[in-house]
Structure 1
Amino acid sequence: MRPDRGASQYDYGFGDHRLFSAERRVERNGVSVKLGARAFDLLRLLVENAGRTVLKQEIWAQVWSGIPVGEGSLRFQLVELRRHLCETSDNAFIATVPGQGYCFVAPVTTIDREAAYQGPAPTDDRSIRLPSRLARAIGHEAELPKLLDRLRSRRLVTIVGTGGIGKTTLGVAAAHAFASEFAGDIHFIDLGAIQDGALIKSAIASAIGLAVERTDPMPDIIARLRRRETFLILDSVEHLIGAAAEIVERLVDDVPTLRILATSREAIRLEEECIHPLSPFELPTPEQEATLDGVLSNPAARLFVERAGAAGSKRGLVDKDAALIAGICRQLDGIALAIELAAGRVPTYGLEALAGLLRGQLAPLRGGRRTAARRHRTLTDTIAWSYDLLDGTGQAVLRRLAVLVGPFGLAAACAVAADDEVGKCEVERVLDGLVAQSLVSVSGHDGARRFRLLDTTRAYLLAEAPGDELLAAALQHATYFAEFLGGSDMRVAHDPLRRFADEDDVPNVRAALDWCFGPHGIPRVLTALAVGSARLFLTLSLLVECRSVCEATLARLDAEEIGSRAEMSLQAALARALMYCSGNSEHTKIAFERGLALAREFGEHRQQLEILADLHVLYCRRADFIQGLVVAQNSFAIARTMSDPLALAASHLSLGVSLHQVGQLDSVAAHLDEAIGLVEADTSHSGYASYSTHPNRAHIIRAHGLWLRGYPDRAAAMARASMREVESSEFKLHRAVALSGIPPIFMWRGDWAEALIYIKRLEDAAEQSTLRPYAALAVAFKGEVAIATGDPEGGVAMIESAMRGLKDAHYRLFSAPLMIAKSQGLLDCGHAGRARDVIESCEQLAIDSGSALHLPEIFRVKADILLASEAGSANPEALLDRAIAVARDVSARGWELRSATRLARLRSRSKRYDEAEATLRAVYEAFDEGQGTVDIENARQELHELRARRARPQLSLDVECRDDIEAQRR
């Protein structure tokens, strides 16, 4: 039962889960569970009322805020909840009470935040992405305050020291400490997993949430970083030092609010750089090694003892062990990595034997260059020593693991390390031993464990491995990731890659692609890997990489692969990347059509539907609404032959959108509602490949249709609900695309302040994903608001600038409404001639595109222009009559009310009061909502003035018309 003091004060625990009310998040075993906003609200309501049946009416009232939705919406959210909570028949959380509602049946623990919970509660909207810090950063206690002082006063600080000395540990600790006083975003970027300096920019862009859509993302990175203070931690710079130096220098020069902390074995050597040298730990003194307490006061010895305990050593230490511990630390020159590696051997060998091994009782130590610093030779020797302690199988497994870059899972380890002699079970056993010996690090738990080789260990192993062994491991590595990404089975796009791969896998995917494109690559593996990686890059908004991989692979297809299913998938992925990178160009259209032709040849209905969905979006954005309707009808015909509810839903969605765009509003709602219902009723799906198939797109078009058909309040409610839904989406591209449809609804209503809120969100989303057409659209929308609120000159300038950018991207979806607004703005500025030219071009565009949707507004504005220009032979009344007739034909009562208000005002000037009132009242009284919106208020005011005009002397028609135009401008 919900506590009396309010839910925001409480957190809840159930099973392996914890629900944080104020932060609106759920964790399972400490790992965040991604829930949409609606699903979270539903879960919180059920958990707060655990043990009680929550009626459906109560759920609709609280979760959907009174928005009328069907049973399907509730069922859909419950399916999502049960899937995310990993509910099974033996582990049920939510029970259905037939005919009534739902009950949360699992035991729930209520935690009073004020009394018990002292966890972090966000107080701002900063983005902080850092690795977990060690509970105790042993040995760095004295260094940390010095480094923090440098970070406070300098914008570029580099921790410089030999490999394995603890640079990353200190950097992460400093970043966590600095976060409490730094007001901006903080991002950790591991460059150790990147082998190509050209990918540094992509890594930075990905870390700060930018979709990479062009070859040089630097201008977008700089623009994004200039928005607010940012602190970047660039870890392991040394192997990319030249490329990193150029990038860091430009960032520091061009972004005054940016701070950078780098870790490197050598200085970056920039003018702004402040070096923080990190030396090995101080070694135990003779006085310290006299007693156990004394030696544990030394940081090197303390690190050794703690890591030995963490590795499983059960030995109870006494004073006589102090000298052994001190001697081991001296032999390792106080280098943190060497100490940790040696400590991992204590459970196996004990202190005495370990000290003996380090004194040379093992095989002769092998090192690097004779001229290298002694401690550098010692680190390499320590890795060699740990390697030599392994048996032959352990050495072979460890060498093969070196082909893996960055974090990797158990399946990947088995794939690259197993062969005819070493089975997967043996690899798992060896891997556990390597973790215990500190040769491989591990994070996570159970099936979610992620392993990683330290960069220094990996470099040593790559040098040790025989060439033929490396080639075999690299082939297995590439083959595994090709299969892992599903490149060979042509999965349908709505089975999302996030179930199988994520950003952690990108370094390995890139490494596999590099090998496949190299001299030893095998074409069939490359093709399969390219198909899967293209999907992954699309999912992660790495659009330039997707385009590059697709184009390079298509150029290398052999004769057998040309015209294959693989080419079909690559052409479709290329087209999707091009649609965002290069706009809706002819190149994009050709790629889509090639993929579609191949899908038809193979009878691949699912692939046809995927491509048709995106091709439909392309035609819509090009304002080719007739062709878009043809594509939608083709899609619908195919989907009806399949027993796939999601395919049918996507085709209903495309058809509903096209019918809306051509102005057949009466037929739209049925298709969109059917699409939403099919998606919500389906329990097998778990995501969407693109926004073209997402039900949120249907919700936004439905909101447009509600306003046009005369339901402005319901339109606003649905738009707000859609916005909440899309903001919870994990797909970055969704936000910008969906936000492009939200502001017009509030501008139509005259809710300028709310419109500007959503325009700002569109602007931010477009900038975050570097989607220039949507950034231009945000500027255009601001121009519309400026015109409507008294700044026509500024508004026209903004729209003209935005339309140039939209034209470059072949993005014409919003051309008609923007031209209408521009024409109105020019008229308000007194440029009736220019306004007439624009509106006539707009009318021709509407005719060419096959859309009657905006014709009522076009005719209304043309009438206003005729009145303002005082053309003697013109007949504005006929234009307004025509506007009303077309609005009725397309069921656009919103447009009809505007033209009827304008026509009533014109007729009242010639004392045709009864006719004027009849014209307007019939439309006005058909509205049962929207009081306070601009059009309802204008109509109500006009009806009021009609009565007043009957009682006052008639003014001349010319004066009346001029007054009317002036009133409109105001």
Structure 2
Amino acid sequence: MGPPPSPAREYHFGPFRLHAIERRLLRDGAPVEIGSRALDILITLVERAGEVIGKKTLVARVWPDVIVEESSLRVHVAALRKALTDGVDGARYITNVPGRGYSFVAPVSTPHSNVPSESTPHAPASPASTSERAPARVASSLPARLTRMVGRDSAIAALTQQVRGTRFVTIVGPGGLGKTTVAVCVAHLLSPEFTAAVFVDLAAVTDAAGVPNAIAATLGLTVRKEDPTPEILAFLRETNLLLLLDNCEHVIQAIGALAERIFVEAPRVHILATSRELLNVEGEHVYALEPLGTPETTDDMTAARALEYPAVQLFLERAGATAGPITLSDEEAPIVAEICRRLDGIALAVELAAGRVSVFGIRGTAELLEKQLALAWRGRRTALPRHQTLSATLDWSYSLLCDQEQQVLRRLSVFMGEFSLAGALAIVGEEDEDSSATIEIIASLVAKSLVSMRITEGQPRYRLLEMVRAYTLLKLTESGEAQLIAARHARYFALRCRESENASAPGALDSRDLGNIRSALEWSFSEQGDPAIARDLSVAATRVILRWSLLAEARVWSSRALERLIDADRDSIHESQLLRTLSVSTMFSLGNDERVRLQIVRGLELARKFGDQRGQFEFLTGMHAFSARTGNFPGARDAAASAAEVANHAEMASAQWMLGMALHLAGDQVAALASCDAAMSHPTAPPGTRKRYFGYDQRTPGLAVRARLLWLTGQTDKALQVAAQAIDEGAKLKHPVSYCLTLLYATSVYLWRECWVEAEQAIERLADTSHHYLLEPYFAGGKMLKGELLHGLGDHEAAVPLLRDAAQRLNRERQVAQAPYCSAILADALRATGEPGAALDVVDQAIAQREAVGRSYDLPEMHRIKAQILLDSGQREAAAECVRRGLELARSEGTPSWENKLLQVMAGLESA
């Protein structure tokens, strides 16, 4: 986007006159009532008519130095549209471009301005200025324009200005995008400014020699020579003409050479061309027509949101034409959005899919699309043959390629979604070939709009549009190379996954590569797949998938790989590595099933057998986590100590964090704090480069445990600071499992300190993260914390059902680290609601559950709660005994904060 044009004093559009300096808007000479903010928006848009102005730019212009919500902008734009009667009787002034901003799309003139404006139509030069002869005469020959176009207002406005200003524009883009439709509309809008607007359809021209003959025939010239080019040029020099050259790609050299001569030798002729690749000649300016806007994701899609996207609007309009008016429901909105997204917003593809709705319905159409039947779906009978089906459209493009280009395009269809140039060269080329030749072919396919390219973080990323990929996959199968290329693809991604073990390594895989990893895994485990490739790929890929917190998927693939291990790979290091992924993903997504413990034990046995030091550390980390979660605090302490014995220097901090957590849970707070402080003394790697063992980061949950230790030992203000630090670092990790663990432990500090606002915010983050990533074991933990918060705020009635449900679920999932504490808080809430008998039963069970494995950090608090229940029931002696036992534990464990709470109950006993 270039710099804004110099502002004019007055702008004309439709029946309106906008006086920018005087800040007045007139309609047919009468003042229009409009607010100051809306007027600022209008002036900004009109000054840069045809451009898409970003929402941030508009907000900065209209509300300088003030922070406002985007909703304020929408309100004022709506008021502006109402004042302009936008949409009434077909009038269009302002369009919203989803995800980008707003554009003023009506023609604008500046009749009283001495400053040239990009919005001012260029009046054609008078014939006398170039020749004293009478101008040549030719009749306009434009096809009829569509009565209504969807989602192309900004493109048409920009193209209209560009053709006026540059004289030569080529609209480029893949087949079926609607290039001709847009070009015809632009030509109709511009035709009053020219003697004639002439449409030259080059689709039927079969060779270079036919190009000038087709133009001459359209101009009505009598051809007297074999090459009519001189007569065409002589004719065009004498007229101001708009020449629309449609479908140039198959005769691109011939039409490019002639168009260049017309541009140079006929200065009053304006050229608008359409092609699947640019002509690449002098004078040409390119307009890359984008697909219709589609949702990037269908998560939480509603009908209102879906209808903001032009592709969805077009789908519903075309579907309604054959199936009757359709009112999109919230239930069907994600389905329609996904159809349009899969079709990449290609207008022809969307229209063809919409045509199926009258027969199969919306859901049936989506199911058919999954089976790739869309290539053969037929459109309007009146459409050109190459536009009647997607297959015909793609046949046209494919047939224009040379053999080498066809081969590369076929092979690229193996990629699912985006791919890198390095990946393309590794898979589509041959080892003994010069890679530069393949690079040139890929560049040619990009230029021909068959491969799309975008720059992401300074690096090019490529992809095939969905329908191009479906078409070329069929061609790949027909070629007999499908299995060869699929094997190359799987080997390549097995190698890339191994190289990406360190997430911070240059060029490491990221979530954009997930589609290709899935595709490679599917092929590897198919009947056509290779067991050796499947083994190597599954070991490496599941670790990458696990790192991206896709636990359910990691669990499925690692389980499937273990089942498919051949005899030679059983009792091997490969089995050990797969067991690690399976046990991690199962524990954090489903809970603490006994099978998880057996998997950890088996993996540790294999790691020791093969001298795999890192494997040993990983499985001991897993045993620590499993033991802690299931309430076996001594077992967690022993596993952490064993991990420290095999840890290398880089792993020692993690071992000390684990030991600190185990000692804290087991009730040895002084030793736990010392271990956490020792972990703090080690250098800390940045969040994005930090290694995680057994599927989670040990530092951030360790910091949260350290915050709990500080509170328990009476350092309450410092505890709050460390809790906030832990949550902040956990968020920066962008690792959901580690973040949930951190929130689970840190929130307790806010609750114990009665910082209710901070506690509520942390609980909401825990709930959002666990639900978004389907981390079921944290659902109950979040519910427990929410119940404890409500109880602390005095809403005991609301707290009881939450705490009861959470306690049941925590026990069912063997989350014994939390279940007894949750039961104790439930007992206190039951006491507060007047149910002392039930409260006493619940707290007794919680205490027994803890004492069965020895001491724990929360036993003093459980005794305090029991004492309060007994005191409220008039059982003073029993209450005093509970306080005595609680004080004994609190003092021996070094927890003055629990001690102070127990002393408050003691004071109540003495005053009763």
What TM-score do the two structures reach when normalised by structure 1?
0.58
1:77 corresponds in structure 2 to: none
Structure 1 distance, partners of 2:772, 2:181, is: 41
Structure 2 distance, partners of 1:808, 1:149, is: 64
CA-CA distance at 1:608 after TM superposition: 1.7
Structure 2 distance, partners of 1:816, 1:309, is: 81
- 1:860–1:879 contact (8 Å) kept in structure 2: yes
1:693 is aligned to 2:700: no
1:752 is aligned to 2:756: yes
Structure 1 distance, partners of 2:63, 2:492, is: 44
- 1:497–1:539 contact (8 Å) kept in structure 2: no
1:742 is aligned to 2:746: yes
CA-CA distance at 1:775 after TM superposition: 2.7
Q: 2:407 is aligned with what amino acid?
A: A
CA-CA distance at 1:479 after TM superposition: 0.5
Picking from 287, 291, 294, the partner of 2:197 is 287
Spell out the pairing of 1:655-804 with structure 2 (5 A cutoff).
655-680=659-684, 685-688=689-692, 692-804=696-808
- 2:827–2:842 contact (8 Å) kept in structure 1: yes
- Cα deviations by residue, 1:42-79 (Å, 9 ceiling, x for unpaired): xxxxxxxxxxxxxxxxxxxxxxxxxxxxxxxxxxxxxx
- Check 1:505–1:646 CA distance in 2 against 1; reply closer, same or farther (3 A cut): same
**3-state SS of 1:776 partner:** helix
Picking from 857, 880, 891, the partner of 2:894 is 891
Cα-Cα RMSD: 4.6
1:403 corresponds in structure 2 to: 414
1:808 is aligned to 2:812: yes
Structure 1 distance, partners of 2:488, 2:575, is: 23
CA-CA distance at 1:802 after TM superposition: 1.5
Structure 2 distance, partners of 1:602, 1:473, is: 35
- Check 1:616–1:606 CA distance in 2 against 1; reply closer, same or farther (3 A cut): same
Q: 2:719 is aligned with what amino acid?
A: A
Spell out the pairing of 1:114-263 with structure 2 (5 A cutoff).
173-174=97-98, 176=100
CA-CA distance at 1:659 after TM superposition: 0.7
Spell out the pairing of 1:492-571 with structure 2 (5 A cutoff).
500-571=508-579
Q: 2:406 is aligned with what amino acid?
A: Q
Shifted more, 629-638 versus 729-738: the winner is 729-738
Structure 2 distance, partners of 1:810, 1:370, is: 54
Q: 1:804 is aligned with what amino acid?
A: Q
2:459 corresponds in structure 1 to: 448
Shifted more, 839-848 versus 441-450: the winner is 441-450
**3-state SS of 1:449 partner:** strand
1:457 corresponds in structure 2 to: 468
- Cα deviations by residue, 1:130-174 (Å, 9 ceiling, x for unpaired): xxxxxxxxxxxxxx989x999x9xxxxxxxxxxxxxxxxx9x944
1:477 is aligned to 2:489: yes
- 1:495–1:689 contact (8 Å) kept in structure 2: no
Q: 2:880 is aligned with what amino acid?
A: E
Structure 2 distance, partners of 1:851, 1:578, is: 28
Structure 2 distance, partners of 1:896, 1:308, is: 92
Structure 1 distance, partners of 2:454, 2:87, is: 28
CA-CA distance at 1:455 after TM superposition: 2.8
Picking from 255, 263, 272, the partner of 1:317 is 263
Q: 2:461 is aligned with what amino acid?
A: R
CA-CA distance at 1:790 after TM superposition: 2.5
- 2:751–2:789 contact (8 Å) kept in structure 1: yes
Larger radius of gyration: 2
- Cα deviations by residue, 1:158-211 (Å, 9 ceiling, x for unpaired): xxxxxxxxxxxx9x944545999xxxxxxxxxxxxxxxxxxxxxxxxxxxxxxx
CA-CA distance at 1:566 after TM superposition: 1.8
Alignment gaps of 5+ in structure 2: 1-56, 72-85, 105-150, 152-174, 189-195, 200-218, 220-235, 286-373
- 1:494–1:688 contact (8 Å) kept in structure 2: no
CA-CA distance at 1:691 after TM superposition: 6.5
2:39 corresponds in structure 1 to: none
CA-CA distance at 1:113 after TM superposition: 13
Structure 2 distance, partners of 1:297, 1:591, is: 73
- Check 1:767–1:836 CA distance in 2 against 1; reply closer, same or farther (3 A cut): same
Aligned length: 631
- Check 1:389–1:279 CA distance in 2 against 1; reply closer, same or farther (3 A cut): closer
- 1:307–1:344 contact (8 Å) kept in structure 2: no
1:870 is aligned to 2:780: no
Structure 1 distance, partners of 2:449, 2:178, is: 26
- Check 1:894–1:905 CA distance in 2 against 1; reply closer, same or farther (3 A cut): same
- Check 1:282–1:302 CA distance in 2 against 1; reply closer, same or farther (3 A cut): same
Structure 2 distance, partners of 1:310, 1:699, is: 67
2:884 corresponds in structure 1 to: 881
2:824 corresponds in structure 1 to: 820
Q: 1:550 is aligned with what amino acid?
A: S
Structure 1 distance, partners of 2:483, 2:64, is: 49
CA-CA distance at 1:865 after TM superposition: 2.9
CA-CA distance at 1:658 after TM superposition: 0.4
- Check 1:659–1:123 CA distance in 2 against 1; reply closer, same or farther (3 A cut): farther
- 2:653–2:682 contact (8 Å) kept in structure 1: yes
Q: 1:287 is aligned with what amino acid?
A: A
- Cα deviations by residue, 1:651-681 (Å, 9 ceiling, x for unpaired): 1111111011111111122322232332427
Structure 2 distance, partners of 1:500, 1:881, is: 58
- 1:656–1:667 contact (8 Å) kept in structure 2: yes
CA-CA distance at 1:611 after TM superposition: 2.4
**3-state SS of 2:263 partner:** coil
Once the two structures are aligned, what percentage of the paired residues are identical? Answer: 27
Shifted more, 586-595 versus 317-326: the winner is 317-326
- 2:579–2:600 contact (8 Å) kept in structure 1: yes
CA-CA distance at 1:841 after TM superposition: 1.2
Q: 1:317 is aligned with what amino acid?
A: F
- Check 1:459–1:823 CA distance in 2 against 1; reply closer, same or farther (3 A cut): closer
Q: 2:603 is aligned with what amino acid?
A: G
Structure 2 distance, partners of 1:483, 1:895, is: 54
1:628 corresponds in structure 2 to: 636
2:172 corresponds in structure 1 to: none
What TM-score do the two structures reach when normalised by structure 2?
0.61
- 1:645–1:679 contact (8 Å) kept in structure 2: no
- 1:296–1:302 contact (8 Å) kept in structure 2: no
Q: 1:836 is aligned with what amino acid?
A: L
- 1:404–1:508 contact (8 Å) kept in structure 2: yes
- Check 1:735–1:683 CA distance in 2 against 1; reply closer, same or farther (3 A cut): closer
Q: 1:728 is aligned with what amino acid?
A: K
Structure 1 distance, partners of 2:732, 2:711, is: 25
2:25 corresponds in structure 1 to: none
- 1:784–1:799 contact (8 Å) kept in structure 2: yes
**3-state SS of 1:725 partner:** helix
CA-CA distance at 1:875 after TM superposition: 4.1
- 2:703–2:722 contact (8 Å) kept in structure 1: yes
- 1:646–1:679 contact (8 Å) kept in structure 2: no
- Check 1:853–1:381 CA distance in 2 against 1; reply closer, same or farther (3 A cut): closer
Structure 2 distance, partners of 1:295, 1:122, is: 50
- Check 1:422–1:613 CA distance in 2 against 1; reply closer, same or farther (3 A cut): same
CA-CA distance at 1:301 after TM superposition: 8.6
Structure 2 distance, partners of 1:638, 1:523, is: 33
**3-state SS of 2:462 partner:** strand
**3-state SS of 2:734 partner:** coil
**3-state SS of 1:288 partner:** strand
- Check 1:121–1:453 CA distance in 2 against 1; reply closer, same or farther (3 A cut): farther
CA-CA distance at 1:770 after TM superposition: 2.6
- 1:393–1:422 contact (8 Å) kept in structure 2: no
1:589 is aligned to 2:589: no
**3-state SS of 1:678 partner:** coil
- Check 1:822–1:324 CA distance in 2 against 1; reply closer, same or farther (3 A cut): closer
- 1:295–1:301 contact (8 Å) kept in structure 2: no
- 1:852–1:890 contact (8 Å) kept in structure 2: no
Spell out the pairing of 1:404-423 with structure 2 (5 A cutoff).
404-423=415-434
CA-CA distance at 1:836 after TM superposition: 1.9
- Check 1:315–1:865 CA distance in 2 against 1; reply closer, same or farther (3 A cut): farther
- Check 1:115–1:122 CA distance in 2 against 1; reply closer, same or farther (3 A cut): closer
